Amino acid sequence: MRIRRRRLRDALVAVGCVVAVVDPCGEPAGRVRFAAAIVLLLLGSLLHFWSKGCLEQNQRLVTAGPYRFTRNPFYLANGLIDVGLCALIGRVWVAVPFLVLWWLAYRDTIQVEEERLATLFPEAFARYAAAVPRLVPTGRALPRGEAVGSFTLGNPALAAGSEYARILGVWVAAATIVAWDWVRGMVFGLRGGADGGARMGHARARGVGREAGAGGGGSAARDGVAAVRSRADAPTTRDACPRDCALLHGPIL
């Protein structure tokens, strides 16, 4: 059964939104993971745009721009974007099977497309494949003087406008995941954090102790302090859930 790669991202976003709704234990993404996700999304979007501006599909074998470093910059860009979305979701059990399916889908697509290029440009593609890695850059790059093609905003692939809509769709998908998680956090009241409540509880306990001590009720003071502290130390929704239960933990680091 062939996996439709265009459906994978839609499924990932849908799963991310569902997890955000049904998991009451999580919190919004911490600054480090959120920043990493945004960087991946930005790099993926820029790489996709750069690749599209160089493309001359079925006309000649383009080897300039990002094609100097990877034979499939489009798919590398999609990988960066999808890993960024996985980072926003923040669930290993979502990311691992998704990335396995992603590789299976794109492996077949890349194989078919490279076979077609080898048929259209047999000699040029053979030299190109020997000089440039298939997907992930390894440091090998085609010499600039041998590169064919160039980036231009007037490229028909960009002028058609579909690329702008595609990039917008990426950021709408990311915003949807974040928005669902934010709403979930507001509904379950997780944004106040357990630490602030505990600090307030201990402050109240100290106040009770001072007031009772001033009144001379030693035993009563101890009982009052113990009662307030027990309430302050009681596990909240966040404390009751293990760290790896959270959809989007935060803040971290």
SS3 readout for 193-219 = CHHHHHHHHHHHHHHHHHHHHHHCCHH
Cα separation, 169 vs 197, whole angstroms: 40
Residue 214: its pLDDT value, please? 53
The CA angle 137-140-142, to the nearest 5 degrees, is: 110
Rounded alpha-carbon distances, angstroms, from residue 61 to 23, 85, 154, 245: 48, 32, 18, 48
Are 128 and 122 within 8 A, CB to CB? no
Taking the CA atoms of the chain, what radius of gyration do you get in angstroms? 27
Residue 37: its pLDDT value, please? 94
Does residue 101 surpass a pLDDT of 50?
yes
Query: In the chain, pLDDT over 70 holds for what percent of residues?
Result: 70
The model's pLDDT over 208-231, given as tens digits with 9 standing for 90+, comes to 455 555 555 555 555 554 554 555
